[in-house]
Each structure stands twice: as C-alpha cells, then as structure tokens.
Amino acid sequence: MFKKLDDVESRFEEINLQLQDPTVTQDQKRYRALMKELSDLEKVVPLYRSYKKTIRDIDGNKAILTQEADEALREMAKEELSILEPHAEDLEAQLKLSLIPPDPNDDKNILIEIRSGAGGDEASLFAEELFHAYAHYASKLGWRVEMMSTSEGNAGGYREVIASITGDRVYSRLKYESGVHRVQRVPKTETQGRVHTSTVTVAVLPEADEVDVQIDPNDLRIDVFRSSGKGGQSVNTTDSAVRVTHIPSGVVISCQDEKSQLKNKSKAIKILASRLLALEEEKARKSASEARLSQIGTGDRSERIRTYNFPQSRITDHRIGVTIHQLDSVMAGAMEYIIDPVIAYFQAEALKNQSARA
C-alpha cells in the first residue's frame, strides 16, 4: 500500500510541475485532464503526508521512552502516544479507502426514476413520499432537483416520477438506492386497520455526458401529442407532449410536463441518453470478470433492498442487515441515517475484495 502511496505522491508533484509549463496551459484539453487528475490526487496526498508526519512523531516519542531518563519527558511522550497512535490507525484506514479503484461515475449528476409497483394506489402514494424524501435530502446537501417527467396515480401520488439531481458527487451518495423498496403500513382507504404491503422501484442512473453516449438523430422517431392530466389552460390544447423512440434499442421516453414542445423534447433526449448509458453499463457488468464485478456492483434493480415499516417506525436494509427506528426522520429527508451505513458497508466490501486480490 505504501509503495502505491509513494507513487501517488510522486505523480502529484509531477503534475504540479507540468502545470507550471506554459505549453500545458495553452493546450486546454490536456490542462483540464491534468487538473482533474490533480483534484483526485489532492484527496489522497495531504492525507498521506499527515499519516507520515504522525508516524514520525510516534517514532520520536518511542525514542524518548527508550532513551530518555527524565521521567517528566517520558510521561509526556506516553501521553502523546496515547493520542497519536489511534490517530495513525484512523489515517491508515482512510488511506486504504482512498486507494479503492474509483467508480468513474461517482462525480456525476443523476437521473432518479421512481415507479409504483405492487400495491396499486398505495404504491403510487408511497412513490411520491419516497421521492420527496430524496428531494429533501438533496436540498440539505445543496443539490438541485429538477422534475423531468411525472405520471400521476389514480388516487394521487406518482405511477412514475423522473427527476435530475445535480450537485457535488451525487451518484457516489445515491448509487446504492437502486432496487425494490417495500412499504408496510395501513392505507388511508383501509377501514379495518390491516397492514398492507406495497412496493416501488428506484433506479439511479448516472447522467450521460456527450462523450458517454452518441445518439444519431437518424435513430430517433419523434412523435408529438396532446398532454393529459393537470397542467393549466394550454397544456391540453396543443401538441406539446413528446414521445422519443430510439429505434435500435427500442427505448421509448415520453415527456409532457412542460408546455413547450422543445423543452419536453430536450428532457426526453436527456433521459434517453442516461438510459442508453445504463444499458451499456449493464452489458459490461454481465460480461465482467468476478473481480471487476465486485468493483462496479450488481446494479440489479429487481432486488428487494429495503423495507419501510410504518407501524413499528423502522427501516430495514436487507443487503446489510441493518434496522433503524427513525422512519419519520428519514422520510422527512434525514436519509443519511440509512444511506451512510449502506455506503460504509459497500466500501468495506470493496476494501476486502481489494485486499484479497493483493
């Protein structure tokens, strides 16, 4: 590990020298690539330097214990060691995590798609509540949420809602939310107080950049039609809704939330690009080796990942076997209570797999 960290530090110094070269700053493509690499290394190098200084301080205090006769100095050395040694262990753990191969999508914005599953109207109502929980969580982190497409349920809520979330490392925080979310509670329409079980599905897709997905306009069939549902006086009287069909893949995207046909088309193509990127990554997962698979995850959206039990105010994440009793707080946007343990679990698994391969 430390040989790798020495190489990282050397590369950090090398990039800083290159950035002082005027010919580099004139080449914008190379300059941006170096700045991006430098930004990634800046997360590791200061940590490593702090670790090395802490180890030097530990060695110095140990030398005092073995060579110094003055009892007062020896006591001071012991006291410092009691602080420095746990600090060094903490820094070493952080360094190990920093060397896990990064997910290339971690810095990306996302599209989040939530759909009602089993349970009819109750599933649609929970889909809306879950979406608002993610939206409140995003707001707390300073992220921006933009509605892309909605389809209302018969009794309210959403049969489907798609939104973009933009901000700092959004995908890294939400990528493990994909899957089936199960809710257990007494529906408002239940007269005998029986608990019903419903499900919604969540898909978290990294937002596709232009370099990620090239869409040939000749591969698209674009249909326009009149919007349905709520939307004001003009939304149902003009052909503002847009349906985009990607002919090679068969993926169909419809958007009708905007009054402008152009805006609906733009949103539909943005969703399409992310869907196509997800399809490509799914192909990569299926053909990946076991080692590579452990790095990029399963991405299985059919897997039941979590249960929200309202009568007992508890949430259970079935992947990591963790149950918390802070359901009200989570649904109000404090999703870190359940998201943070999930991230920690998958980081630990990645670290374990990396150590096994080393």
Write out pLDDT tens, residues 277-310.
Answer: 888 777 766 654 443 344 334 434 457 899 999 9
pLDDT, one tens digit per residue, over 321-352 is 999 999 999 999 999 999 999 998 888 887 77
- 238: tokens are 């003009």
Regarding the domain delimited by 110-209+297-357, which CATH topology (the fold level of the hierarchy) does it fall under? Alpha-Beta Plaits (3.30.70)
Beta bridge partners of 254: 243
- 7: tokens are 């190489």
Sketch the domain layout of the chain as residue ranges. 2-98, 110-209+297-357, 217-286
Range 2-98 has CATH code 3.30.200: no
pLDDT of residue 83: 93
Which class is domain 217-286?
alpha beta
User: Which of 341, 350, 349 shows the shortest CA–CA distance to 316?
Assistant: 341
pLDDT, one tens digit per residue, over 62-81 is 999 988 888 888 999 999 99
The torsion of the CA quartet 229, 199, 196, 322, rounded to 10 degrees, works out to -140
* Whole-angstrom Cα Rg for the chain: 26
Average pLDDT of the residues of the chain: 84
Local structure of 22: helix, strand or coil: helix
User: Which of 183, 182, 167, 184 shows the shortest CA–CA distance to 112?
Assistant: 167
